[in-house]
Structure 1
Amino acid sequence: MVAGAIGLGVAFSGRSIAGLLTYVEEVVVAASGHFYAPGLVYGFMAAFVMPFSAYQGWGQATAPLLVSLLRFAIVLAGGWMLQQHAPRPEWLYYLVAGSTVIGALTLGIVFAFRPPNRRVLMLSG
């Protein structure tokens, strides 16, 4: 919830933030798009990191790894297609943001239906 609120703040103040760094209008437009698209999905990024950390804490990183590879494949294939047909940077921002949403939803569903084994491994020593 907090990450979502911060993300909305970043998304809607991106032009102001970019305006602090440069006066070149093309750069301000590109930077504000960069703040806007990912800012809208900060909440999903937090929802992705929580089960990701839980899986790793329980020593089972396979599900987060596979979901991260899915996100990578989406960005790789989608980015290649966008560059072939419509090379606009703001579309790449939305592609990465969309892959974040897909990754968060996928890992959340996997976590809900197949949570990590909560057995504590005892280390001998």
Structure 2
Amino acid sequence: MHPSVWASSSAARALAAPVGALWVIRLWGEFDAESIHVVERVTYEVLRSSVAPVVFDLRQVTFANTALLNHLIALRLHRPVGLVGADRVMRLMVEVSGAALPVFPDLAAARSALSADEAP
């Protein structure tokens, strides 16, 4: 069993924990060029310790710009990635970028879809 991983700054917080066959990274706060290191640190630890798909829970994100979007796109090159709780602006950024980042209505849907992607 892998332990939870977390990082925080004055503007942002990230917590990653395994949930079934994938990792969920929950984000809180504002993610821009000044605070993206918080999610980068947690993501690095997840990549180092597991090969499982990653779901980002964005329900508590109050602001995100292309710093977060670029991080998610880069991670997609290494792992299946999904988003839960993406607000209208994040969904629009994903759509306009053409990124292959699926947005799910809830964690159960993300787990089902990403676990199916891993099946032989």
Shorter-chain TM band: under 0.3
Greater RCO (Cα-Cα under 8 Å, separation 6 or more): 1
TM-score (norm: length of structure 2): 0.27
The structure that has the greater radius of gyration is 1
Q: Please, what TM-score do these two structures have when normalized by structure 1?
A: 0.26
